[in-house]
Copies of this chain bind each other. A is one copy, B any other.
Amino acid sequence: MPTVKRDTYTPDSLLSVAVRVFNERGYDGTSMEHLSKAAGISKSSIYHHVKGKEELLRRAISRALDSLFAVLEEQLAREGRAVERLEHVARRTVEVLIAELPYVTLLLRVRGNTDTEVWAMSRRREFDQRVAALVKQAAADGDLRSDVDARLATRLLFGMINSIAEWYRPDRAPGNGAGGGTSAEVAEAVVRTAFAGLRTH
């Protein structure tokens, strides 16, 4: 018999369990039964908090998207030369990805056909378009190399950033290149690599 805990969950702590299970099993592969087992409370207790698993997905993805869009509203993302604003957005996106790792990981893996997933993918595209506009402006200012297409550069930069979700483990010691570094160290490495290049000049 699974142990059934008294339900002392808050919306946030239940969300945190659900996101872990979604990332482990995939959203499609997760049933209310899986969530109930992982949380150690009954399915009806979960229904006391939320209408169903899609609401948990929506809340989790909203949390990731809200943090990412907030970066675009920061002063350093809005004022100054486009290339500086772009570097700021790249740096802060890495920091948000690491601070909200399970939530952003879930967002990045969304592929499906539910209303929530379609909405998440359209919001991701909106974020990408706002960054692509910055890249385009920085190129027009003459601050980015002209021999790499601006949209391709955007994809490569965010490909590098998003891939951090696949290997970063917060429990590894900072400075251990295998799994970690602090979020500021990783963000700095991304900015140095993508903007200045790995090669000595």
Residues of A within 8 A of B (CB): 26, 28-29, 83, 142-145, 147-153, 155-160, 162-164, 166-167, 175, 177-178, 181, 185-186, 189-190, 192-201
The answer to whether B159 and A163 have CB atoms under 8 Å apart is yes
Q: Chain A: interface secondary structure?
A: helix
Residue on B nearest A166 in the bound complex, by CB: B159
Residue on B nearest A159 in the bound complex, by CB: B163
The answer to whether B157 and A159 have CB atoms under 8 Å apart is no
The answer to whether A145 and B199 have CB atoms under 8 Å apart is yes
Could you tell me the distance in whole angstroms from the C-beta of A107 to the nearest C-beta in chain B? Answer: 13
Provide the residues of chain B in CB contact with A175, threshold 8 Å.
149
| Docked pose: A148 CA to B175 CA in angstroms | 11
Q: A156-B189, A195-B197, A196-B201 are in contact. List 13 more A-B contacts (CB 8 A).
A: A83-B199, A143-B199, A143-B200, A145-B198, A145-B199, A148-B189, A149-B175, A156-B163, A158-B163, A159-B160, A159-B162, A159-B166, A201-B201
